[in-house]
Structure 1
Amino acid sequence: MSNSKHDKGEHYILTPKAEPFLERVIFNNRLVILIGFLLLTGFLGYNAVQIKPDASFERLIPLEHPYIVNMLDNRDDLANLGNFVRIAVEVEEGDIFNAEYMRALQEITDEVFYLEGVNRSGLKSLWTPNVRWVEVTEEGFQGGTVIPDTYDGSPAELEKLRQNVLRSGEVGSLVADNFKSAIIYAPLYEQNAQGESLSYADFSRRLETQIREKYEEKYPNVEIHIVGFAKKVGDLIEGIGAIGGFALITIILTTVLLFWYSRCIAGTLVPVFTAIVAVFWQLGLLRLLGYGLDPYSVLVPFLVFAIGISHGVQIVNAMAAEAAKGFDPLTSARLAFRQLYIPGMLALVSDAIGFLTLLLIQIDVIRDLAVAAGLGVAIVIVTNLVLHPIIMSYIGITKGGVRHVRNQGEGADRKWRIMSYFAHPGVAPVSILIALVGLGAGLYFKQDLKIGDLDQGAPELRQDSRYNLDNSFVIDNYSSSADVMVVMVETPPEQCIAYEVLTAMDNLQWRLENLDKVQSTASLVDVSKIVTRALNEGSFKWYEISPNQGIINATTQRAPDGLINTDCSLTPLMVFLEDHRADTLEEVVEVVEQFAAENDTDQHRFLLAAGNAGVEAATNQVISRAKDMMLILVYSVVAILCLITFRSWRATLCVLIPLGLTSVLGEALMAQLGIGVKVATLPVIALGVGIGVDYGIYIYTKFERFLLEGKTLQEAYYETLRSTGKAVIFTGATLALGVVTWIFSPIKFQADMGILLFFMFLWNMVGAIWLLPALARFLLRPEKMVAAARARKD
């Protein structure tokens, strides 16, 4: 009788033949399937524990963006302007012109020279021969290395060193404005001679142990500050170590909550076990496919675990209800599978598609995250809808769990009865009005939402992190900041020093230097002006570009490396910024693009952009274009899946509208918390939709079933809450509590993701419980639904 009742309730969702077939395949071959799971888990688990942290400069940037294409096309000519670290060696007492400090700087320079991954030909320090001074005397030009071969640390030599530094033009660049620190500039290779990518984790660790710790201990009067992309990523990877602690807290917390919910040992341990199996499968397959875990995708296993738990709760809930009716474990498992197969599959496919929309974004690290998340959800489909019910079919719900279901009593029924008034004709309009007010408030507050970073330094790390403190030191003490945008000036061969080219560059520099957020600029123009002035007795009246091409040729003959390429077809114009905030980058890019549009000719073109700020500007543009397109796609796909399953546009709206409200409120929250839309936070927007739809699908599936049985709308919702309301509320709370621990991560973007996902998981659950029935009151036509179902049956 019970079987026929369930079949009758589900006939409108799936044809009678397909479901029993799948059910028979799974439950008639339980032992074989379990052995297969055991073998696969052992193999994939072995691979999972060997997966390694991974990060690459090129995987973090939009390789197809025109700015990045320009940068990569000219990579060889910009060798010293790409991936680098800057090591500032500070003297705490006195200045750098003392023998002990210079000995420390020499030893640190030598140590950096031999670090694996350093481009030694581009290394710059006061101790390297490529840092020189030049002056014009009565006898002509004189110059040499800043630290001469005769240097012996004597007071006389130290005074000569001071004079050389002042004549070198390196004050503000390699030497601090207050003479209390000097920088070692180390450009890096992306790959070694064997083609292996630079390990940022290892390189960062060597910087800490072989440079910072070693020499701060050896020279107590010295403090070392390190900035650069490789160091930032290394610190992010180091922060991944804290994830293990969060994982343990999440598992313990989830286990405790599951037992409180089910009062059943099996109903607690089996969902946790299958969710952990899904994580091991995911990590193992990622390693076999050649992926590692970068700082962004390292949180995906948390999401896979959370999704596995959320769907596992539905199975436990359904099995407990069937066991309370007196069914044995196998029958209870089959009936639970029969009830949840379609909504579970629909929800998980929606999750997967929500993740896979991230593939549209032309940044490899986000695409890697999409692959990892999509793969994880595909695995959860297998572990939750096959492994979980099979294990439970052997163990069953314990007597304590069955007793807990039977003892829910009138108190629980009264709670569900009160909540069922969300579907009441008098309450529903109030709910809709509140939702409209919330939508209006969300649209108003989300106007301040920005694309890109909103903080100085590395916004991925907390402002009091060692890296950001080091970055603040460099910004405060040097005129050339760590945030550099490089404009590439392209000309025909042998034309990069033509008067017209240098004049156009000079005009652009003047425009840029008048922007508030630009600290300074540097180019071949400055070299030509300095030498022209020097040739004219140092008079500032001659600090100009000479219209005489012969003089220009002479003044640029000894231009420093990096300011001119070998065939004189490219010269960079470097723009040093106070920060890489989104509004700063937008302002600089707008000025350069406008100038290029007005001044580009056949003889010269101004191309954006290299440098870390140029990469950030390109990334911001890609994310800005992709955000709305990604949301449109994910909502469209979820809508199509709901239409196929429920065969009703009204039902689809009931599920999607609460999701849309959550998306708007989530963006408003980001704007008010000062969280920009960037590589780290963009995936959260898709995740909120992909995972959030699960609640509405489970609620509506039960809701529709009771409506088709002829119940009134409010009564049908009451029965829905009785059967699945607790599971949905518990799932939302568990998911939210699982990610809220991220708020304490040393990595700020993980904390930001934790805040946003916490809000979205909770609010999507609230929307499904509160707003969906109110929408159903206005949108659904129960009598037509029943007639349509009967017509399909006939």
Structure 2
Amino acid sequence: MDNTKFSRLARFVEACIHHRVPVTLAFTLMTLLMGFFASQIEVKTVFDDLLPQNHPYVQVHKKFRQDFGGSNMVSIKLEAKQGDIFHAEFLEKVKTLTNQLALVDGVNPFQIMSLASSKMKDIRSSTDSIETKPVMFPDVPRNPAEMDALKNKVLNSPLIYGAYVSHDLKAALITVDFYENAVDYNKIFPQIMKLADAMQSNSVRVSVVGEPILFGWVNHYVPETIKIFLATLLCLMALLFLTSRTWRGTLLPLLAGLSSSVWALGAARLLGFNLDPLVIVIAFLITARSISHAVQLVTRFSDELAAGVPTSKAAATSAMLQLFKPGMLGVIADAGCMIVVVLTPIPLMQKISLIGTIWVLTIALCACVMTPVLLSWVKLPAKYAHPIDISGALERVLGICISTATSRWRYLVLASATLVFISSGIYAFKLQVGDADAGSPILWQNSRYNRDAADINRQFQGADRMYVVFAGNSPGAVKEPAVLESMTSLQRFMGAQPEIGGSLSVADVLPIVNQVLREGNPRYRSFGTTSAENAELFYMWAPDAGDAARFMNPQLQNAPVTFFFKDHRGETVRTAIQRVKEFVAAHPTDLGKYVLAGGLVGITAAVNEVIFSGQVESIALALLVLVICCAVAYRSMRAGIFFLVPVMLSNTITFSVMAWQGIGMTLSTLPVAALGIGLGVDYAFYVVDAIREELHNHDDLDAAIAQALRTAGKGVLITSMTLTTSVVLWFASSLRFQAEMGYLMAIWLFISSVSALFIVPAMISVFRPEFVVGKRKLVGGVAATATASRSTAALG
């Protein structure tokens, strides 16, 4: 830092400390004001925030979701514990639940399908025409004859048997969809779960899945998440109290973290943002950064007092002056890595990016400025707050770090780091984009939701849906035999994928109508040979266009081919999309084209594609931002390259662990990964700057490294130890995602601290980068003089 910049910083620091009363008063008033706004923020998931609005799959989904189904479909399975479903008590439950679902907030009543729905039709022939009558509407069969008739209808209808009644006849399925602009998970979840639980009995088991239910469970666990968050803070407070043995070392870092949270949440409320429950882990991660910066300042303040600085104001001034640059560099690097996520074209990512960047920037005020200002009032205590002293253990750990960095062991450290980087980098390529496991990765596999999903997938075609729409060039295109044959071929082709349990299209219906019209002769189970014949079959089957709405639009121009999936893992979705594209490319038609893709799996495919491109882009830009920040701060491009080492190491290890543990790169993990890049280098900034400061006083590199590790390294050790231990509490979360992110945070913090305490000092000792040691020629860690004898002595 040149003298001009140093003098400006010194004047700023002195002004903050000198005017500490008005500065503290203004900060307190603003914090109270932001706290008022923060208290009004809503904790909820907004469905539209999850969608990449301009993606072609999403455009198709939004265009056709009203008629062909959205991505918020809920599937409810009623299973008879003994016997089959064909008895009055069971069927009465199906009817009651079907009717009551129409009263749920935001429900699309035209998309409620079950055995008891008026839209579930049985196709029969009469002397004059084809009759389509409800299978079991409005009444449940009351005698054995009616029950047998219903059973025969189910067994003879491929649109019901296997789709809405299980093949073993022990379960019935109800599906319900919602108007997506009216979806409110906080309302839908309790209403549906109340209805489902009311159907549970000694003879009936109920399973419920769907996005509104999944995110309803997430919201259900918000109070638990908040409790874990508070318990983590209490644990953190206890650990800080244990290590620092002072109230200032305990309360001031926590105050910095809490005040930055208040400012950030208040800003989010002013911007009109809500707080998604899944991003609470990011909130803790940023809060941890604020605490980390404050711990460094408190540690340096204590060192200054112990070194004989006469007053608290002088010690606070000195600590702030020495640590302001690395602290601000860390804040800017974190903010830069977070803001690049805004380029991901998903509203939730953009909101997280903006509020995360604001949150990180508040650390500059709440920790880097206010912590030393408050420290200026603190006096050196006459005795410690408790008798437990672990400073000896900390000194021994730091002694190992010092001896490693200043001896031949440094080469082993760098060789080991290189080996770990290469091996973890190779394994990290196995990281999945999208969900890596069947069921929802947000919840544990033994959660009720994932058990219900497994049960439904076991007995039915699949709870997750994707539809590909044949968009005709003109009205009536769907009547053409070539189009119907193409849809059938697509269904057969996609059916070879094991994860697809079944499919449905209008091409499945017309052959049944044709067969019934021919007195049930199976020879006629096919389409008509001309569009006119197919038009007659359409009319005979559904004279009321509303009954056929889920199969085609009234103009017979657009029709979906719906596929039922056993899971929506990233590989499953990518394979399905690729296979559809292969079929479309190999079977072109002049009558129209297939457009991808609607339903939950279609939306998931769009999100995964955006994340895949966004992951590479965000990480690359975050690394570029880091290089630029370091290059500008230290006026050396080599500095940017130097600091990439701890970042790349911590990220390749973390990504390889994600691949090993089956944690996919999803909407929830992408911003954590981007922020992790900044997290991987913050500790290194403090150690490097401490070494630089020491070399301003003398020419002994080994001594500079040793002193830097005893001061800045001590802060790194305390912070990483307390934070890493505290996040273990997240493992108790009912949300698997929260637990896994706590696990990843612990890895990031641990690897970052190891890099700062072992790898970075070893790199400086071996490579002696000019931005750290200047232009002096170093031999064996000691500055060489113009005389050869001193160089020889240094070598000796």
TM-score where L is the length of structure 1: 0.92
Unaligned runs of 5+ in 1: 1-10, 193-197, 790-794
Cα shift at 1:380: 1.6
The residue number in structure 2 matching 1:682 is 670
Please state if 1:119 is matched with 2:108: yes
Q: What is the distance in 1 between the residues matched to 2:479 and 2:689?
A: 72
Q: What is the distance in 1 between the residues matched to 2:769 and 2:569?
A: 51
Cα shift at 1:344: 0.6
1:337-376 equivalence runs, <5 A: 337-376=320-359
The residue number in structure 1 matching 2:74 is 85
Please state if 1:69 is matched with 2:56: no
Q: What is the distance in 2 between the residues matched to 1:29 and 1:683?
A: 38
Please state if 1:18 is matched with 2:3: no
The residue number in structure 2 matching 1:8 is none
Of residues 457, 466, 475, the one that matches 1:485 is: 466
Of residues 150, 163, 167, the one that matches 1:161 is: 150
Of residues 165, 188, 197, the one that matches 1:213 is: 197
The residue number in structure 2 matching 1:35 is 25
Of residues 112, 118, 131, the one that matches 1:129 is: 118
The residue number in structure 2 matching 1:313 is 295
Q: Which amino acid aligns with 2:46?
A: S
The residue number in structure 2 matching 1:471 is 453
Cα shift at 1:35: 2.0
Q: What is the distance in 2 between the residues matched to 1:679 and 1:512?
A: 27
Q: What is the distance in 2 between the residues matched to 1:534 and 1:403?
A: 88
Of residues 264, 269, 278, the one that matches 2:260 is: 278
Q: Which amino acid aligns with 2:464?
A: D
Of residues 381, 395, 405, the one that matches 2:364 is: 381
> Which shows bigger deviation, 719-728 or 415-424?
415-424
Cα shift at 1:146: 1.2
Q: What is the distance in 2 between the residues matched to 1:471 and 1:781?
A: 56
TM-score where L is the length of structure 2: 0.91
> Is the contact made by 2:683 and 2:716 (CA closer than 8 Å) also made in structure 1?
yes
> Is the contact made by 2:14 and 2:317 (CA closer than 8 Å) also made in structure 1?
no
The residue number in structure 1 matching 2:443 is 461
Cα shift at 1:538: 2.7
Cα shift at 1:283: 1.8
Q: Secondary structure at the match of 1:87?
A: strand
Q: Which amino acid aligns with 2:174?
A: I
Query: Structure 1's 425 and 475: CA in aligned 2 closer, same or farther, altered over 3 A?
Result: same
Q: What is the distance in 2 between the residues matched to 1:506 and 1:781?
A: 67
Query: Structure 1's 726 and 573: CA in aligned 2 closer, same or farther, altered over 3 A?
Result: same
Of residues 474, 480, 484, the one that matches 1:502 is: 484
* Number of equivalent positions: 768
Cα shift at 1:156: 3.1
> Is the contact made by 2:84 and 2:169 (CA closer than 8 Å) also made in structure 1?
yes
> Is the contact made by 1:492 and 1:569 (CA closer than 8 Å) also made in structure 2?
yes
Cα shift at 1:310: 0.5
Q: Which amino acid aligns with 2:740?
A: D
> Which shows bigger deviation, 308-317 or 64-73?
64-73
Q: Secondary structure at the match of 2:567?
A: coil
The residue number in structure 1 matching 2:424 is 442
Alignment RMSD: 2.5
Q: What is the distance in 2 between the residues matched to 1:650 and 1:171?
A: 68
Query: Structure 1's 405 and 153: CA in aligned 2 closer, same or farther, altered over 3 A?
Result: closer
Of residues 725, 728, 752, the one that matches 1:740 is: 728
Of residues 722, 727, 751, the one that matches 2:739 is: 751
> Is the contact made by 1:266 and 1:397 (CA closer than 8 Å) also made in structure 2?
no
> Is the contact made by 1:519 and 1:577 (CA closer than 8 Å) also made in structure 2?
yes
The residue number in structure 2 matching 1:250 is 232
Of residues 133, 136, 139, the one that matches 1:147 is: 136
> Is the contact made by 2:87 and 2:147 (CA closer than 8 Å) also made in structure 1?
yes
The residue number in structure 2 matching 1:266 is 248
> Is the contact made by 2:114 and 2:175 (CA closer than 8 Å) also made in structure 1?
yes
The residue number in structure 2 matching 1:200 is 185
Q: Secondary structure at the match of 1:556?
A: helix
The residue number in structure 1 matching 2:783 is none
Query: Structure 1's 564 and 782: CA in aligned 2 closer, same or farther, altered over 3 A?
Result: closer
**Equivalent pairs: percent with the same residue?**
27
Deviations 1:126-150 (A, max 9, x none): 3222111112356542331112556
The residue number in structure 2 matching 1:764 is 752
Q: What is the distance in 2 between the residues matched to 1:172 and 1:14?
A: 79
The residue number in structure 2 matching 1:3 is none
Q: Secondary structure at the match of 2:277?
A: coil
Please state if 1:185 is matched with 2:175: yes
Of residues 262, 267, 285, the one that matches 1:303 is: 285
Please state if 1:293 is matched with 2:283: no
Cα shift at 1:666: 1.4
Cα shift at 1:747: 1.1
Q: What is the distance in 2 between the residues matched to 1:27 and 1:386?
A: 9
> Is the contact made by 1:87 and 1:184 (CA closer than 8 Å) also made in structure 2?
yes
Q: Which amino acid aligns with 2:234?
A: I
Of residues 581, 599, 604, the one that matches 2:592 is: 604
Query: Structure 1's 148 and 269: CA in aligned 2 closer, same or farther, altered over 3 A?
Result: closer
Q: What is the distance in 2 between the residues matched to 1:25 and 1:513?
A: 72
Q: Secondary structure at the match of 1:133?
A: strand
Q: Secondary structure at the match of 1:394?
A: coil
Q: Secondary structure at the match of 1:547?
A: coil
Please state if 1:173 is matched with 2:155: no
Query: Structure 1's 448 and 783: CA in aligned 2 closer, same or farther, altered over 3 A?
Result: closer
The residue number in structure 2 matching 1:7 is none
Q: What is the distance in 1 between the residues matched to 2:566 and 2:139?
A: 39
Please state if 1:105 is matched with 2:94: yes
Q: Which amino acid aligns with 1:42?
A: L
Query: Structure 1's 455 and 312: CA in aligned 2 closer, same or farther, altered over 3 A?
Result: same
Please state if 1:668 is matched with 2:656: yes
Q: Which amino acid aligns with 1:491?
A: G
Query: Structure 1's 358 and 397: CA in aligned 2 closer, same or farther, altered over 3 A?
Result: farther
Q: What is the distance in 1 between the residues matched to 2:116 and 2:650?
A: 58
> Is the contact made by 1:55 and 1:200 (CA closer than 8 Å) also made in structure 2?
yes
Cα shift at 1:14: 6.6
Cα shift at 1:781: 4.8
> Is the contact made by 2:77 and 2:208 (CA closer than 8 Å) also made in structure 1?
yes
Cα shift at 1:444: 3.2
Deviations 1:440-463 (A, max 9, x none): 221332232221112112121111
Query: Structure 1's 403 and 456: CA in aligned 2 closer, same or farther, altered over 3 A?
Result: closer
Q: Which amino acid aligns with 2:479?
A: I
The residue number in structure 2 matching 1:5 is none
Please state if 1:94 is matched with 2:78: no
Q: What is the distance in 1 between the residues matched to 2:742 and 2:336?
A: 21
Q: What is the distance in 2 between the residues matched to 1:291 and 1:238?
A: 20
Query: Structure 1's 265 and 102: CA in aligned 2 closer, same or farther, altered over 3 A?
Result: same
> Is the contact made by 1:240 and 1:298 (CA closer than 8 Å) also made in structure 2?
no
1:509-658 equivalence runs, <5 A: 509-557=491-539, 558=541, 560-658=548-646
Cα shift at 1:179: 2.1
> Which shows bigger deviation, 230-239 or 700-709?
700-709
The residue number in structure 1 matching 2:46 is 56
Q: What is the distance in 2 between the residues matched to 1:582 and 1:780?
A: 45
Q: Secondary structure at the match of 1:142?
A: strand
Cα shift at 1:369: 1.9
Q: Secondary structure at the match of 1:607?
A: strand
Query: Structure 1's 576 and 710: CA in aligned 2 closer, same or farther, altered over 3 A?
Result: same
Q: What is the distance in 2 between the residues matched to 1:135 and 1:746?
A: 50
Q: What is the distance in 1 between the residues matched to 2:287 and 2:763?
A: 31
Q: What is the distance in 1 between the residues matched to 2:9 and 2:389?
A: 29
Query: Structure 1's 497 and 399: CA in aligned 2 closer, same or farther, altered over 3 A?
Result: farther
